[in-house]
């Protein structure tokens, strides 16, 4: 069966209490659902496995295709590093309301506690309302004891670094960095294959039944990066018709490619 063609996948749409309608109105996702917070574009996380919608492989799911075709589908380098576990989850996020303040464990801690990859990720701002922002890291070097004090006193937001954003901004979020996507933001997120999140603050909100969401206060303490590291905002070229690297790490490389002319990309020599 021919697999040497561009595979397209059916988006996996998820309703969220903080979701909106930009995935429908801006990205033209077809759905009858409301408050769509996420569109998973390619995934093998849990039961959320992407399904092919075009060509000879229409109807096949990505996990089965990897098990069957292995290096022929993923390439030698990726398959040698990750085997049958697809290494990425790619999604769009529409935050009509603030997402929770959270962080993700690194590979070592995630494997020990959850038998999972950790989660390093990057964001690309597709669209942002006026005065939209993101939270990335703390606004000063802190410690586990000081962080706990701010959290217990309900003053955690005073310790957080807020970043105003516009379309085209990009951020790199290493495992362990505290973060949140703010209201009015439409984000493309590229991340490790992981759904392990430690939620530490949820803006004191309750669901329709009057319940608060679970927090992971104790789990987060040993996973947090307490010192400031200001390498999170990415600066990259935006030359037309050329691949301009945005981010590169052990898990993914992303490029900005704006096209206004015909270009040819030859991948035949890649491993």
**Which residue numbers are catalytic?**
199
Q: In terms of Cα–Cα distance, which of 186, 173, 171 is closest to 236?
A: 171
Q: Exposed, middle or buried, 131 (CB in 10 Å: 0-12/13-18/19+)?
A: exposed
Contact 193, 85 (CB under 8 A): yes
Tokens 């999140």 belong to residue: 197
Cα–Cα distance for residue pair 219/250, rounded to 1 Å: 25
Return all residues near 32 (Cβ < 8 A) that are at least 6 apart.
Answer: none
Bridge partners (DSSP) of residue 192 are 88
DSSP line for 184-245: TEEEEEEEES----EEEE-TT---TTSPPPP--HHHHHTT---S-----B------BTS-EE
């Amino acid at each position: 069966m021919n697999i040497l063609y561009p595979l397209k996948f059916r988006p996996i749409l998820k309703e969220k209490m903080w979701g909106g309608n930009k995935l429908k109105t801006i990205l033209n996702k077809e759905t009858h659902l409301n408050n769509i917070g996420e569109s998973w574009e390619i995934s093998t996380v849990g039961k959320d496995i992407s399904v092919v919608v075009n060509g000879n492989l229409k109807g096949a799911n990505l996990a089965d295709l990897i098990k069957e075709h292995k290096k022929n589908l993923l390439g030698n380098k990726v398959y040698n590093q990750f085997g049958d576990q697809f290494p990425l989850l790619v999604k769009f996020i529409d935050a009509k309301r603030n997402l929770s303040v959270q962080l993700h464990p690194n590979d070592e801690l995630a494997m020990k506690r959850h038998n999972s990859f950790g989660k390093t990720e990057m964001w690309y701002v597709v669209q942002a309302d006026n005065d939209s922002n993101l939270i990335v890291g703390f606004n000063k070097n802190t410690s586990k004891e000081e962080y706990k004090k701010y959290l217990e006193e309900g003053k955690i937001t005073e310790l957080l670094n807020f970043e105003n954003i516009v379309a085209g901004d990009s951020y790199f979020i290493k495992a362990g960095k505290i973060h949140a996507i703010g209201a009015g933001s439409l984000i493309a997120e590229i991340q490790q294959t992981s759904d392990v999140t430690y939620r530490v603050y949820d803006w004191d909100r309750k669901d329709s039944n009057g319940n608060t969401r679970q927090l992971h206060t104790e789990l987060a303490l040993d996973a947090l990066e307490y010192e400031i590291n200001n390498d999170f905002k990415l600066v990259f070229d935006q030359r037309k018709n050329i691949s301009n690297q945005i981010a590169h790490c052990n898990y993914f490389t992303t490029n900005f490619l704006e096209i206004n002319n015909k270009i040819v990309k030859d991948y035949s020599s890649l491993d």
